[in-house]
């Protein structure tokens, strides 16, 4: 017995626990060497004769060559959409249009793993987010708007809704497939046709989506995909379309608004943000810290509604910062296709340089930066999660959208001061409030100038809930019943 006890006590005790690599299989998705333009249900070579290479931001490896659409290519896509509109799509019964949307939703669900891998490969976001957030929400939006397609007269009683016509849609690189769903689903449900331009750096899931349209047997020309850089987007804005829907930077949004001013084109813009995440002293702090992390480090901070400004009541400031730094130390940065990864690659070299420039400005202006120790891959575009303390309202990092995994922390003493600081920004897209008092949540929500306000949570989305902003965060709403109206005219 004594011998046995000695043997047991001699067993090695592990010094710590680590995660073994858990990579998702890349071979589930097949990437073509070259992609043309999807116009009128067919793949066309670009009349421009131009191509560019799209890469993986995690490794900088080339993934595929993609067409750069020129003026003639955009014109062909708009003509195809106009032809499909006049050929019966706009007059199709809502219940018939719904069938196509239901099919698209089901095919996305069936091919979810394939799309998730491609989304992470081309965009750099962790596979857990692509798999558990982007794909389910994209399919849910098609399901949701399929349900509205035959109920438009009930949605808008005493009004006679009819489709606008051809919608030109321009989407960003942070949520390529989800933004595609946000744009295309309500447009089709209301009887419009579409010309969509995905972001230059993340076109691959939009191009794979063309195969979903084939499987769903959507009539040719109802949805057309043209790829390219900002020149292609500019051509689409000036083309013969009836509506422009844009999600992206505030500067580009302003340029688009100037361009369509004086025309009959309808316009909706979902632009930048500098959201305040407000923590009161009675908030459940551990839960709030998880909300802070989800609010700013989700998708590497590449989120328009990211909670990039943290406002903490002074009495709990030290506890919150201590818990936040401890939690940041557990975040795993690395391969986007590893299921253990929390923070993936920055989307492009250009975006990484912008993040680094703004971080330098924060240090130069006197803020204190903290980044947990982590080993970044040698290739690709990477930035370790960061938090700034000692931040002043006048600092650039407290006013400008960084669009990266960088948090700026400010303090407040009273609810009135919290509201004043939260609203002291050109943006008004979203906000978060953490408190145990329901009355305080309602009081804050009434005074915060933001389109979406989360209470004791952050970054929660539902197809039935409208999303959009005020001030320089744009105008118009996507999602919910409100998302139908921008695609309709009323008699």
Please answer whether residues 171 and 203 qualify as being in contact, where contact means their C-beta atoms are separated by less than 8 angstroms. Answer: no
210 is catalytic: no
Annotation says 304 is catalytic: yes
Based on C-alpha coordinates, what's the Rg of the chain? 24
CB contact at 8 A, 398 and 410? yes
Which of 120, 117, 113, 115 lies closest to 299 in space, CA to CA?
Answer: 120
80: Cβ contacts below 8 Å, ≥ 6 apart: 39, 40, 220, 221, 224
Selecting among 270, 401, 472, 485, the annotated active-site residue is: 270
H-assigned helices in 280-382: 285-296, 317-328, 349-364
Distance between CA atoms of 390 and 365, rounded to whole angstroms?
10
Compute CA distances 41 → 35, 38, 362, whole Å: 14, 6, 49
Q: Name the token pair of 116.
A: 């998730």
Return the bridge partners of 195, or none. Answer: 168, 224
Structural contact between residues 12 and 43, judged by C-beta atoms closer than 8 angstroms: no
Those residues with Cβ within 8 angstroms of residue 240's Cβ, 6 or more apart along the chain or in another chain: 75, 78, 82, 166
Edge-to-edge strands, sheet with 368-370: 368-370, 386-389, 406-412, 309-313, 276-279, 430-434, 452-455
Spatial distance between the Cα atoms of 57 and 119, rounded to a whole number of angstroms: 11
- DSSP secondary structure code for residue 410 in this structure: E
**H or E segment at 39?**
strand 37-39
Number of alpha helices (DSSP H) and beta strands (DSSP E) in the chain: 17, 22
Cα dihedral 233/238/240/244 (nearest 10): 60
Which are the contacts of 342, defined by CB distance < 8 A and separation ≥ 6? 126, 128, 297, 331, 332, 333
Please give the full DSSP string across 453-480, using - where no structure is assigned: EEES--S---TTS-B--EETTEE--BST
Calpha distance 356→163 (Å, rounded): 45
**Tokens read off for 458:** 């952050």
Which residues, 6+ apart, have CB-to-CB distance to 116 below 8 Å?
A: 24, 127, 130, 131, 134, 135
The catalytic position among 304, 305, 401, 472 is: 304
| Beta strands, E only, 236-379 | 243-247, 266-270, 276-279, 309-313, 368-370
* Six token digits for residue 83: 């032809």
Question: Which of the residues are catalytic?
Answer: 270, 304
């Amino acid at each position: 017995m004594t011998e046995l006890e000695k043997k047991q006590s001699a067993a090695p005790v592990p010094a710590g626990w680590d995660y073994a690599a858990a990579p998702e299989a890349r071979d589930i998705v097949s990437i073509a060497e070259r992609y043309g333009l999807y116009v009128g249900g067919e793949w066309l070579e670009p009349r421009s004769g131009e191509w560019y290479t799209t890469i993986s931001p995690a490794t900088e490896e080339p993934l595929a060559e993609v067409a750069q659409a020129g003026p003639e290519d955009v014109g062909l896509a708009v003509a195809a959409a106009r032809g499909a509109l006049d050929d019966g799509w706009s007059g199709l019964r809502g219940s018939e249009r719904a069938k196509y949307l239901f099919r698209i939703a089901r095919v996305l669900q069936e091919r979810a793993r394939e799309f998730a891998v491609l989304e992470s490969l081309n965009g750099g976001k962790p596979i857990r987010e692509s798999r558990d957030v982007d794909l389910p929400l994209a399919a849910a939006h098609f399901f949701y708007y399929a349900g509205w397609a035959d109920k438009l007269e009930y949605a808008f009683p005493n009004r006679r809704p009819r489709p606008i016509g051809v919608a030109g849609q321009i989407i960003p690189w942070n949520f390529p497939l989800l933004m595609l769903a946000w744009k295309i689903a309500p447009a089709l449900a209301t009887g419009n046709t579409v010309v969509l331009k995905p972001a230059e750096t993340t076109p691959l899931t939009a191009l794979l989506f063309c195969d979903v349209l084939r499987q769903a047997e959507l009539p040719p020309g109802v949805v057309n995909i043209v790829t390219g850089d900002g020149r292609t987007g500019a051509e689409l804005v000036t083309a013969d379309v009836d509506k422009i829907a844009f999600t992206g930077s505030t500067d580009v949004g302003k340029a688009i608004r100037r361009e369509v001013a004086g025309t009959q084109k309808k316009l909706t813009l979902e632009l930048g943000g500098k959201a305040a995440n407000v923590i009161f002293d009675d908030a459940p702090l551990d839960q709030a810290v998880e909300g802070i992390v989800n609010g700013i480090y989700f998708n590497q901070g590449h989120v328009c509604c990211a909670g990039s400004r943290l406002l903490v009541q002074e009495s709990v400031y030290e506890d919150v910062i201590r818990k936040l730094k401890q939690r940041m130390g557990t975040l795993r940065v690395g391969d986007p296709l590893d299921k253990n990864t929390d923070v993936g690659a920055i989307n492009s070299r250009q975006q990484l340089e912008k993040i680094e420039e703004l971080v330098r400005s924060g240090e130069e202006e006197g803020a204190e930066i903290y980044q947990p120790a982590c080993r970044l891959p040698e290739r690709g575009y990477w930035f370790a999660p960061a938090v700034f303390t000692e931040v002043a309202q006048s600092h650039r990092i407290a006013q400008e959208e960084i669009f990266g995994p960088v948090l700026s922390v400010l303090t407040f003493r009273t609810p009135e001061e919290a509201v004043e600081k939260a609203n002291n920004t050109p943006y008004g897209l979203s906000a978060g409030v953490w408190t145990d008092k329901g009355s305080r949540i309602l009081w804050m929500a009434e005074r915060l100038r933001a389109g979406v306000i989360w209470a004791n949570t952050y970054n929660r989305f539902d197809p039935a809930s409208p999303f959009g902003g005020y001030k320089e965060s744009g105008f118009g709403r996507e999602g919910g019943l409100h998302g139908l109206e921008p695609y309709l005219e009323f008699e």
